[in-house]
Structure 1
């Protein structure tokens, strides 16, 4: 379970670096592929917000039931909701731009940069504080129970998974070219 979460976080951070680079290019006046940016944000909505975060929420609720109220844990579900709203808003902005709506360049840049900061801060907090706390608190039986509870939320990652999800083919190719 933790390995999957760490892997998802690594993949999300890779995509956040792509977004950050695109925002930097926009800030420098360069043209960027807005469809690629939209694909990254769409992936985060489709996978992170509908599978990864709900899986984490189940894990965090289990911890709360086992250990009692813990402010830093109980706040994460609210944070996941805020991240989803931010993702939907950025996706809407990108959709408008791609449909020829006039949105100031500076607004797009600041929205992408704010989104990246928000997501990165969240991931770093989970990685540095929450996941180590869970790892230290749970025993083997806890992990077995959590595995059963999250089973319904586990889906194949449509971008980084083994399946060949056609929807993210351009983004997958971009990432493969960036590695090479």
Structure 2
């Protein structure tokens, strides 16, 4: 079911945010950090979350808005997803600069990482605590059947799926 896969994705993204918080603590403690893992985390969010997870949510949110009264501010989530995409791209550039040995003060990078993690976490919490419960309470079995019929994307999660993609092997091992 679509909503179950969204909750599963949120748990997986939370695991990635926890890993980023560990890297942030290491940066602040001036310990060595594998920035490749940070890059891979951001790459996963760009490749999977933005191409499969958010469109799946958007399908449900748009349906909800068009068929029910929007009590939970669901309509704002389109803009939120766009902002997350822009933030992720911007943060990815910062990570790439560090990996290319550009001079980036660690405190500046740590602040960017903090903002990135906080924004991602706040988005997940909004969806899990307010938006999804309201939608799950409102939508009928017929609504869910219709939505499922509209979701034709095959989801092959390259990190948390049955087969881990080669580019994410190190990240999977770190988790």
Work out whether 1:168 is the aligned partner of 2:146: no
Which structure 2 residue ranges, 5 or more long, are not aligned? none
Partner of 1:16: 17
Report the Cα distance in structure 2 between the residues aligned to 1:149 and 1:104, rounded to whole angstroms. Answer: 47
How many residue pairs are counted as aligned between the two chains?
Answer: 174
Range with bigger deviation, 64-73 or 159-168? 64-73
CA displacement at 1:34 relative to structure 2: 0.4
Contact 1:59 1:150 in 2 (8 A): no
Q: Displacement of 1:70 after TM fit?
A: 4.7
Superposition pairs for residues 9-158 of structure 1, below 5 Å?
9-70=10-71, 72-152=73-153, 154-158=154-158
**Does the Cα contact within 8 Å between 1:64 and 1:70 map onto a contact in 2?**
no
Whole-Å separation in 2 of the counterparts to 1:164 and 1:174:
13
Residue 33 of structure 2 aligns to a residue in which SS? coil
Q: Distance in 1 between matches of 2:152 and 2:137?
A: 22
Distance in 1 between the 2:80 and 2:38 partners? 23
Which sections of structure 1, spanning at least 5 residues, go unmatched? 176-180
Q: TM-score, normalization: structure 1? A: 0.93
